[in-house]
Amino acid sequence: MSNSILTFLNSVVLYSIPLLYASLGVLFMEVAGVVNMGAEGMMIIGSLVGIMASNAFGNVWAGALIAMLAAGAFGALFGFLVIELRINQVVLGVAFNLAGYGLTTTLNRAFSVDGIILKCTYFKDALGFYPPVYIGLGLVALVWIILYKTNFGIQLRSVGENPMVVECMGISVKRLRYTACIIGAMLVGFGGSFLSTGLLSRYAEQMTDGRGYIALAAVTFGKYTPIGTLAGVLIFGAGDTLSLRLQAGGSGFPYQIALMIPYVLTVVALCFFSHNVHDPASLGVPYTKNR
C-alpha cells in the first residue's frame, strides 16, 4: 500500500515538472505586470524545437538550450508587441497560441511522417527522476530569493505594481519588462521541451493540451508567490496523475470523463482562489511614459 502511494507521489512530481517551469515563467512575467496568455504557444514551440534539436545534436541538454532560445525569441517578440506597441496582452497571447499551434503542426506534418521520436535521453536517478526535476525544485527557491531578496526582484515587482514610481527612481520600466518577458518565455520553453524530451520521448501535435493556460491558473492559485505556485502545480500534477490512473486502470471509470479531471480542477481552483488574490496592480496595463 505504502509502495503504491509512493509511486503515485513519484508520478505526481514527474508530471508536475513541465507545468512547474511554465508556471515559474508565467509568474516571472506577471509580477512585472505582463499577462502571459501566450504561454501555451511558447510551450508547444519549446516542445517541438526541443525534440528536434535534441535529435540533431544527439544531446538533450543542447536541445533544451535551443528550445529556450527559440521560446526566448518569441518572448522578446511578445515583449516588443506589448511594451512598445501596447497591444492588448490577452488577445495577443491567444493569437500567439494559435500561431504556435499552426506553426508547429505545419512543420511537424511537413517534415516528419509518423511524429518525432526522441533518440537520446536525460540520465535517470534511482527514483526515476531526471536532473531537471531537481533543477526545477531548486528554481522555486531561486525565484523566491530573486523576487524577495534582491534589488532586481524588488524592482521587478514594483514594475508590476506601479511602473511610474520605478521610472521616477531612474530605472527603465521597459528594460525590466523585456527582461521579464525573455526570462519568463525561456522558462516556459524549457517546460515545453521537458514535456517532449523528459516526460515523454516523442512529439505529438498539440501535446501541451492547455498546460500553458493551466500555468496561468496555477500562478493565480499561488497568489503570485513561487511557493504558492509550486503548491498549485503539485495539485494539478496530482489531477493529471489521477486522470492517467483512471484511464489506465480497469476500474470501469469512463476514460473520457477521467480526461476532464485536470481541466475541471483548473476551473474549480480559479473559482475558489480568484477573488481573494491581490493581482499586481498594473497587470496587463501598458505603460506610457508621458501620462
Partner 1 sequence: MKETKKNKANEFLGSLLFTKNLKASGFFEPIVSIFLAFLFGSIVILLIGENPLSTYKLMFGGAFGSLANITNTFNKVTTLTLTGLSYAFAFRCGMVNIGAEGQLYIGALCSSIVVLRVPGPAPLVILLALLAGFLGGGLFGLLIGFLKVTFGANEVITTVMLNYVAQYLVLWAISGPIKDPNSLTAQTAVFEESYWLPSIFPGTKIQCGILLMVASLIFFGIFLWKMVAGFEMQVVGQNSSAAAYAGVNVKKNRLLSMFLAGGFGGLAGAIEVLGVQHRLLKGVSSNYGFDGIAVALLGNNTPIGMFLSGILIGAMKSGGNNVQMFSKVPSSVVDLIRALMIVFVLVNALHRFLKKREMRRDLLNV
Nearest CB to partner 1, comparing residues 142 and 267: 267
Among 105, 162, 201, 225, binds partner 1 (CB under 8 A): 105
Binding track over 61-100 against partner 1, x by CB under 8 A: --------------------x--xxxxx-xxx-xxx-xx-
Residue 6 lies near partner 1 (rule: CB under 8 A): no
Residues 6+ apart with CB under 8 A from 119: 54, 55, 58
Whether the Cβ atoms of residue 239 and residue 262 lie closer than 8 Å to each other: yes
Applying CB under 8 A, does 2 fall inside the site for partner 1?
no
Residue 216 touches partner 1, criterion: CB under 8 A:
yes
Our finding on whether 271 is near partner 1 (CB under 8 A) is yes
Buried b (16+ CB within 10 A) or exposed e, 123-152: eeeeeebbebbeebbebbeebbebbeeeee
Query: Rule CB under 8 A: is residue 101 a binding residue for partner 1?
Result: yes
The piece of 4-12, 46-54, 147-155, 207-215 that touches partner 1 (CB under 8 A) is: 207-215
- Whether 187 and 67 have beta carbons less than 8 Å apart is answered as no
Q: How far apart are CA 260 and CA 279, in angstroms?
A: 28
Q: Which is nearer to partner 1, 147 or 216 (CB)?
A: 216
> Shortest gap between Cβ of 108 and partner 1 (angstroms)?
8
Residue 204 engages partner 1 in binding (rule: CB under 8 A): no
- State whether residue 202 is helix, strand or coil: strand
- Between 6 and 98, name the residue whose CB sits nearer to partner 1: 98
- Whichever of 158 and 282 has its CB closer to partner 1, that residue is 282
Q: Contacting partner 1 (CB under 8 A), which of 62, 162, 209, 244?
A: 209
d(CA 176, CA 32): 8
Residue 257 is a binding residue for partner 1 (CB under 8 A): yes
Cα separation, 82 vs 93, in Å, equals 10
Return the closest-CA partner of residue 164 out of 176, 151, 155, 173: 173
Closest contact distance (angstroms) between CB of 179 and partner 1 is 22
Q: Please name the residues in contact with 81: beta carbons below 8 A apart, sequence gap of 6 or more.
A: 87, 92
**Is 281 near partner 1 (CB under 8 A)?**
no
Contact 58, 66 (CB under 8 A): no
C-alpha cell at 159: 514594475
Site string for partner 1, 25-54 (x = CB under 8 A): ------------x-----------------
Cα(75)–Cα(83) distance, integer angstroms = 11
Q: Say how many residues touch partner 1, by CB under 8 A.
A: 45
User: By CB under 8 A, is residue 156 in contact with partner 1?
Assistant: no
The dihedral built from the CA positions of residue 74, 26, 36 and 158, taken in this order, carries a sign that is: negative
- Footprint on this chain of partner 1 (rule: CB under 8 A): 37, 81, 84-88, 90-92, 94-96, 98-99, 101-103, 105-107, 109-111, 209-210, 213-214, 216-217, 220, 254, 256-257, 259-260, 263-264, 266-267, 270-272, 274-275
